[in-house]
Chain A
Amino acid sequence: MTTRILTVSTLKMFVRNKQSLFFTLFMPFIFIGIFGLIGFDKPQVIDVGVVAQAPSAMTQTFIDALGKISVFKIHRGTAATEKAALQKGDRDAVFILPNDLMPNPTTTSAPVTQTVTVLQNIARAQQAQTAITILNQLLDKTTLQAAQAPTLFNVDIQSVNAKSVKYIDFLVPGIVAMSVMQMAVFSVAFVFTDYKEKGILKRLLATPMKPQQFVAAQVMTRLLVAIVQTFILLLFGMLIFHTHVYGSWLLIFLLVLLGALMFLGLGFTISGIAKTVDAVPAIANIVVFPMMFLSGIFFPTSSMPAWLQKIVTYLPLQPFATALRNVVANGDGFMAIRTNLLWMTGWAIVLITLAVFTFRFEEKRV
């Protein structure tokens, strides 16, 4: 009964504490919102300048066809203005078209070879090359049509319903893992150091309660919060950003419980080390910040230098975030994430052991 009532009271205190709510829900909401709106995976736009002083009707049709290509953003202008824009870096390529680029189908005169001049932006060679390839394709197609050659090849494009893994799908599970870490580390480190500093732990020791009952209530509260937090954040992603949960919810919650346990160990260790509440953010941030930015929460670790990737793989947040992402966004099962689970279990054992040695409920027995 004692532990149950304590858990209920602890839960009330947790929910009423604005600071812990900030770390638990508000901050991840902001992260998902900001990074979700930036949308790193929107298709790139290629800025193309098109110069044609007085295009014939057929040439104009060709220019319109260019404009329909979704990756192109067409800018019209004179050769001089477009070149200047390219030099400024505002164009990836500039096409200079002769006015009568396209032959008039009503005239039967023999076709004349026309020249299209392309200015390419060397600094954006990739985009310029894409633009040139598309231009060539379009011109070839026109040539073939003009020659009335038979179509030898036909590309049949069929749409298959695939899992759409967009940046936001990558992001949300990472943010969930990160916020479970923040919640577990900060709420425990702050609250227990505060209790210690204010003499509340000592007051509790004056009752017949066993210290482990109190710690159990605190841990159970955090585990419950982690589950609710995960559910709310995933739901938020699904409703606002149309993310998907492909894996099993049960596996997700088990993962989150293991992750929370691991970081609760870290939280208790920190409050064991910190003498005052003021020292908590300093110590906690030294540990938490590098993990936050290097564990592939906001961007894949594959974009980091190899040596850094190696180090980061062994930090506790990385296997947690990766496993959670694989289950949520790829629908991986237990066997697929077992290496990550093993790492997490290892970290949980290490951090909880560390907590047992550093965290003292009672004053040192001299």
Chain B
Amino acid sequence: MSEIKDKTKKMEVSRRDFIKTGALVTTAAVVGGCGISKEEFLQQHFKELTQEDVKNIKKRLETEYEKEFGKKFSVSFKEPIPQTLFGYGLDISRCIGCRRCVYACVDENNLSIDPQIHWIQVLEMEKSKGVNFHHANLHYDREKVPDDDHFYLPVACQQCENPPCVKACPVEATWKEKDGIVVVDYNWCIGCRNCMAACPYGARHFNWKKPSYIDPKTKKKSELNEDTHYLGNRPRPQGIVDKCTFCVQRTREGKYPACVEICPVGARKFGNLLDPDSEISYILKNKRVLILKEELNTQPKFFYFYAT
């Protein structure tokens, strides 16, 4: 008996040693070989970050971004505002399909210009066929909009209350915040793209390359937005998934999302679903509202409505 016990003890120790040295070697190799800092690598411990950790990460990212882009960045970690659940309204009877929102979003959220990532996809649909994705055209190219026979349906993340993408993530790198925004931790995402397969709205986008901010046609370099949030528009690394965050860096400061501010026809509405006096509550109470793919029980907080 005692022999067996000893043996197991010996085995345990040796296994532990093996793992320890193995981990050390891989750490050294990763840190040394891939050019990421020790702090960045060690951030991926499976534990909740302390205030101290957050401070250090903020500092690290801000210096990294300043070095890379040559200007000062601020990376906010602002928490959800209590008693807030964000909801979005889009007036289908108003939208003219001008795509101003698409590019305001690109600028605000530091989206990759090459390869191109658009968080908002404006679909052109035939009036005679109604909301029907089989007859939707993303690539419409017209001299003037709106076309008389078509209407327009911009689609971005629907910020589901029951988000299938979150369930699909094997490493819990994406989750729903208390204010209802579904976010991604770019430093935790392993780029497996399961969430993209799970999302029924095509709202998640993969950074196949490191985002470039130079237009491949005009060679014009676009200016980055330096007011960022850790879970939102901070510059992304290669090989991770990103998505609309209702402009978390703006909305947690009380501002409207960039797409709301740019819309020339005022078709986009935003507010707190828990506030009975908010614009979005008024819409839900008084207008004809629809959600996309209701049958999937994703429970979007993005409501399409007809104000007329």
A, B: real partners: no
Residues of A within 8 A of B (CB): none
